[in-house]
Amino acid sequence: MNFPVGTIVYFTPFYFPNGKSAPKNKYLIVLAHKDKDWLVASLPSSVDHVPNGVSQDHGCLSLPKAMVYAYIFEQGRPVTKEGWSFPLTTYIYTSWIEAFDKRIFTEVYSVEGVDYKVIGRLVQEEYQAVLDCALTSGDLKGRYRKLLQHVKY
């Protein structure tokens, strides 16, 4: 699995690496390739952790006092080159950005169209906005900050 950065993949279902969460259908957005064996990605969520009363406009949300840093994808707003949009308001919480072993992906998700579906690729402006948001957040893990600073679309 060597998807270009910005690719949105939908897994049916996604098996969480920690084994603590039950498998469920899940989107994954490829943010970077760490090397030939690892990809850095986000598992966006439709779960809203934004405090009540805070405006949830499309784009970067930074609430240091509440310790909430997220990129918000507005429901129905096209974000890919193909014109696809998330069916629900969806959040990338920067503290949830992780590295995933490509070998496990290849073993577990071997059949496109059955195990996963490639949704499309974020338009360059949207991808850059996601990166900029992550890089300015207060909770992005340091090991990913340097990597994301040098990613090319």
Q: What CA–CA distance (Å, rounded) separates 67 from 139? A: 8
Distance CA 139, CA 14 (A): 24
- pLDDT beyond 90 at 36: no
Res. 105: pLDDT tops 90: no
CB-based contacts of 77, cutoff 8 Å, min separation 6 = 58, 85, 86
Per DSSP, which regions of 17-67 are E strands? 24-33, 38-42, 59-63
On the question of pLDDT at 57 being above 90, the answer is: yes
Q: Is 20's pLDDT higher than 80?
A: no
CA distance 61 to 2: 29
Q: How many CA atoms lie within 13 A of 2 on its CB side?
A: 3
Among the listed residues 112, 118, 113, the one whose alpha carbon sits nearest the alpha carbon of residue 81:
118
Residue 42's contacts (CB-CB under 8 Å, 6 or more residues apart) are 28, 29, 31, 92, 93, 96, 97, 98, 130
Q: How far apart are CA 116 and CA 123, in angstroms?
A: 21
pLDDT surpassing 70 at residue 1: no
Name residues whose C-beta falls within 8 Å of residue 32's C-beta, 6 or more positions apart in sequence: 5, 39, 40, 144, 147, 148, 151
- The fraction of the chain above a pLDDT of 70, given in percent, is 99
pLDDT of 9 > 90? The answer is yes
Mean pLDDT estimate for the chain: 93
> What's the pLDDT at 39?
85
Give pLDDT, residue 88: 95
What pLDDT score does 48 carry?
94
